[in-house]
């Protein structure tokens, strides 16, 4: 049972890292927008505001830091995905596709079951079987 949890944690880490990269990319895009000056100075608020050039510099510095983080995390994700792809090649077709769809492509279990032309209940059985087989090679 511990091996199954280890396999599930590994594959879930891939799924979560992929989601994290999407969030970081969205943050970078927002900072680029902010640095473009499109936000400007607001005159509807009564408080001290920093100059636009300060805001641009801060946004660009934060974007550069996030781009470094994105690059590092992307490299880690590629390594984990490659390891997962190598292991899934050793599984049956249904197990391989279930792992790929659910964990690597972040598709819901219901949609995964539909794509594999099986019931959700059967998909969960295949998932358990896939995790057992996956854990043997992890």
Contacts 24+ apart (CB under 8 A), 10-14: 10/80, 10/84, 10/138, 11/84, 11/99, 11/103, 11/104, 11/131, 11/134, 12/103, 13/80, 14/77, 14/80, 14/81, 14/84, 14/103, 14/104
Determine whether 11 is exposed, middle or buried from the number of CB atoms within 10 Å of its CB (0-12, 13-18, 19+): buried
The answer to whether the beta carbons of residues 134 and 87 sit under 8 Å apart is yes
**pTM as predicted:** 0.79
What is the span of the domain harbouring residue 12?
2-39+52-137
- Alpha carbons 102 and 34: distance in angstroms, whole number: 35
The string of pLDDT tens digits covering residues 71-116 is 999 999 999 999 999 999 999 999 999 999 999 999 999 999 999 9
| Size (the chain), residues | 138
Assess if residue 44 is contained within a domain.
no
State yes or no: pLDDT of 7 exceeds 80: yes
Number of domains in the chain: 1
């Amino acid at each position: 049972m511990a091996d199954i949890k280890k396999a599930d944690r590994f594959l879930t880490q891939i799924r979560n890292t992929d989601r994290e990269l999407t969030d970081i990319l969205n943050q970078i895009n927002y900072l680029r927008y902010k640095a473009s000056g499109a936000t400007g100075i607001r005159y509807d608020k009564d408080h001290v505001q920093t100059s636009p050039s300060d805001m641009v510099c801060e946004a660009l510095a934060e974007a550069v830091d996030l781009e470094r983080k994105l690059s590092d995390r992307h490299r880690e994700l590629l390594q984990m995905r490659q390891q997962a792809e190598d292991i899934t090649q050793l599984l049956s077709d249904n197990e391989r596709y279930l792992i790929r769809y659910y964990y690597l492509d972040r598709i819901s279990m219901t949609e995964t079951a539909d794509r594999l032309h099986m019931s959700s209940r059967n998909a969960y059985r295949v998932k358990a079987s896939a995790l057992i087989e996956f854990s043997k090679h992890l």
